[in-house]
Amino acid sequence: KCRTHAFPNSLLHKLSNLRSVYFNQLNVPDKKLTLPDQFFLNNKRLEKLTIVDCNLEALPDTLLCDSPYIQVINVSHNWLRSARLSINADDVNSDNNDNSAGSLVKCNNKAEQLIIIDLSYNQIRSITDNDLIQFVAIRQLLLANNQISFINRNALKACALLQQLHIGNNNIEELPIMPETLIHLDIAWNHLSIIPSTIANLPNLLFLNLSGNAIDANTPFPIISKTLETIDLSRNRLEFIPENLFLHCSQQLQHLSLSYNRITQLEPLFFQNYSNLLVVSLINNFVLFNKYFLYLLV
């Protein structure tokens, strides 16, 4: 393996037609990778950037100005402490007459082509209202396996086109307002005690993973999505299934996991309206089945 913790500023400057950059496992033990501020200066056509397992602490502030057509960014398995890609346009206080090396050129600093960003397996602890403000076109956002304990209520406000959100394996107790465009939501292994209204009121969900939380039968909000096909509520604290929890999606639901809960009883006709249900998992509960209920499951 070739390892390094620094690149020369001009490494990519002559590659003006470059479409993809891929750095993998360049990490020098205990040393962060530093990219110069103008590292992508001449890479206007860059579409895909992958820097994985390289001890990267931050991307250059001018990335979105230098590479306005970037579509995919994968910076997973690094040392990033913020989900914020770079400074926002409002933060730029550059004087057009100032040509010093430290000055920044003002631009429309929005990721207007960026549809996928992978920030998983980093060291992000919180997400503020401005951290994701540049992600105006994002469709898939991966933030799993960080140390996130706090997300501001309006953190996803700019992500009006978001379809997939992965924030599993964090320390989240409360969720922000979610865009109604979401169809795939994975928030497994966090600290939710209920299914919050921000999730329950999403109208277009197809997939919902809430496994490994602390959700019990007192969760108050029914899931309103009529398109939901897969729900994973395994490894929670449900003692029974609230009657109206899946009322709206019962006709569409295909996969339902309730394993490793504390369920002690189920009504014999509980699943009678689940006409499309293919798989239901109730392993490692305390439920006792009567013969009629077993017949329905078969």
Question: Tell me: the pLDDT tens digits for 159-169?
Answer: 999 999 999 99
- Check pLDDT > 60 for residue 226: yes
Record the tokens describing residue 123, joined without a space.
């060291």
- The CATH number for 150's domain is 3.80.10.10
Residue 117 has phi, psi (to 5 degrees) of: -135, 130
200 in a structural domain: no
| Contact present, 47 and 70 (Cβ < 8 Å) | yes
253 in a structural domain: no
Residues with Cβ < 8 Å from 65, sequence gap 6 or more?
Answer: 105, 107, 109
In terms of residue numbers, what domain contains 47?
Answer: 1-88+108-191
127 in a structural domain: yes
245 in a structural domain: no
234 in a structural domain: no
247 in a structural domain: no
Q: Does the pTM of the predicted model rise above 0.85?
A: yes
175 in a structural domain: yes
pLDDT of 77 reads 98
pLDDT digits (tens, 9 = 90+) for 130-158: 999 999 999 999 999 999 999 999 999 99
The count of structural domains within the chain is 1
298 in a structural domain: no
- Compute CA distances 140 → 73, 159, 184, whole Å: 11, 10, 9
pLDDT of 27 reads 87
- Check pLDDT > 90 for residue 45: yes
* Alpha carbon distance 147, 170 (integer Å): 5
- Check pLDDT > 60 for residue 98: no
